[in-house]
Each structure stands twice: as C-alpha cells, then as structure tokens.
Amino acid sequence: MLSKTIEEALNKQVRVEASSSQVYLAMASWAETLGFEGVATFMYAHSDEEREHMLKLIKFINERGGHAKVSQLDAPPAEFGSFKEMFESLFQHEVKVSKSINDLVDITLQEKDYATHNFLQWYVSEQIEEEALARNILDKIKLIGDDKGGLYLFDNDVKSLIGAQSGPELN
Ligand code: FEO
C-alpha cells in the first residue's frame, strides 16, 4: 500500500511525463510543418515513449492501492526557433526530469518504501540513456550549425536513433 506522500509524489511524476510527451509532440508537429520528416518521426516516437513512462507510473500507483490522477497541462510552445534550440531545450528538459526522478527516489528512502524505490530504478537507468542520447544529438546539431546540406543529412540520420532511445524494456 502506498503512503499518501508517495502517492502524491508519484502523481507529480505522472504529470511530468505527460507534460514531456506533450512538449515533444509539439516539437514533432513543428518539425513536420518545416518538412523535416526524420526529426518529426523521431520526436513523435519520443513523445510516445514519454506516454509509456506515464502509463507505467499510472499502473504502478493503481496496482499498489493508490489512485493515479490525470491533470491539466500547460500548452507547450508551438515553435522552437531552430533545431539547435529545440534540441537544447529537449536536453534541458531531460536534465529536469532526471532531477525530478532523483527527488522521488529520495522520498522513497525517507518513507522507507523499498518497493517503490525498486520500481523507480528503471527510471533512473532510463534517464541516463535519455540524457546521453539528447547530449549526443545536441553535439551533432552544433557541428552542423546552419548548413542546409548538413541538416538534410541529419534529418535522414536521426531516424536511425529511434531504436536507440527505447531504453530498458517496459514490462
Ligand atoms: Fe520520461 Fe524523457 O523522461
């Protein structure tokens, strides 16, 4: 059975994952309107993945006798400046998500909830991979700068990273 403190903390994380999915969906749509099909495909897949992270939390909360809540989200921006800015913002977003997961892990230790602590280890590993992937993409895009040919090739290549971001298996 979850304590109220853990239930609330997990529900807060449900909102973080939902909001990540929403922001990445907006990025996908923006890239698609610019004709960058590869970036759009990558971001649609990333958005789906965040939804999976959210669902995994929802199921866990409910299985342990809590009640997972779906909350209202703020609208993400519709445009992101350049792809460099967009991936910079994605990277910063993932750093924030990692912090939020770490805070959550900390609460489970304070509350001595070792089952939830164990469950959250999946997210800890996932965040290491997500941050590494975001940093890797950001490094590439920084090298390309505003070079149109480079961006065209990048758009083609980024699709191959979709499998790389799947992270540990979901049960
Ligand atoms: Fe579910 Fe990208 O954090």
CA of 166 to the centre of ligand 1 (A): 11
Angle at CA of residue 43, ends 38 and 46, nearest 5°: 130
The verdict on residue 166 lying in a domain is: no
Question: In CATH, what number is assigned to the domain containing residue 125?
Answer: 1.20.1260.10
CA of 11 to the centre of ligand 1 (A): 15
Under DSSP, the state recorded for 79 is: -
The verdict on residue 44 lying in a domain is: yes
The verdict on residue 170 lying in a domain is: no
Residue appearing with tokens 């164990």 = 118
Let me know: does 57 contact 68? Beta carbons within 8 Å: yes
The verdict on residue 171 lying in a domain is: no
Q: Is the pTM of this model over 0.75?
A: yes
Question: What CA–CA distance (Å, rounded) separates 129 from 89?
Answer: 17
The verdict on residue 168 lying in a domain is: no
pLDDT of residue 145: 85
The verdict on residue 124 lying in a domain is: yes
Q: Tally the domains of the chain.
A: 1
Question: What CA–CA distance (Å, rounded) separates 101 from 50?
Answer: 14
C-alpha to C-alpha distances, 141 to 23, 64, 136, 161, nearest whole angstrom: 20, 43, 9, 14
The verdict on residue 123 lying in a domain is: yes
Residues spanned by the domain of 74 = 4-161
Q: Closest ligand 1 atom, CA of 46?
A: 2
CA of 27 to the centre of ligand 1 (A): 15
The verdict on residue 169 lying in a domain is: no
pLDDT tens track of the chain, all 171 residues?
Answer: 899 999 999 999 999 999 999 999 999 999 999 999 999 999 999 999 999 999 999 999 999 999 999 999 999 999 999 999 999 999 999 999 999 999 999 999 999 999 999 999 999 999 999 999 999 999 999 999 888 899 999 999 998 887 655 444 443
What phi-psi label fits residue 132: left (phi over 0), alpha (psi between -120 and 50 degrees) or beta? alpha
Closest protein CA for atom 1 of ligand 1: 50
Residue appearing with tokens 């149109």 = 148
Tokens of 159: 């699709």
Closest protein CA for atom 2 of ligand 1: 94
